[in-house]
Structure 1
Amino acid sequence: MGLGRAAGLHHNYVGAIERGEINPTIDKLAVGLDMPLSELAVIYERNVAEDASGVRRS
């Protein structure tokens, strides 16, 4: 099952996200990924830290 369907999002909405036309709320992404919002935030923070330093943090 795709993220859009799992999060209850219409395929046109998902397409707009992919094209960068709109930004989804983080809570809808967490629901679609079936993970706690806090876990999604940790993943995001790790990626931001990696982008800033060039070194992946765990």
Structure 2
Amino acid sequence: PSMNDFPCADIHQLIAPDLLHQIIKDTFKDHLVDWVKRYIHDQRTKCQADQILNDIYQR
């Protein structure tokens, strides 16, 4: 292939898992999403909370 001499085209380096990214995503993003959902349900009626969350999921 013509990309053999191209140093930035090492497919093994490009698809290697980024463990720090996965840890941050699983720890902070998932926790934050769960917290926001609980907060919305605590502050609104069930119908209002479901409507707000449906609006968020559609975006």
* Length-normalised TM-score, structure 1: 0.30
Higher relative contact order (CA 8 A, sep 6+): 1
Larger CA Rg, structure 1 vs 2: 2
Q: Which has the higher helix share?
A: 2
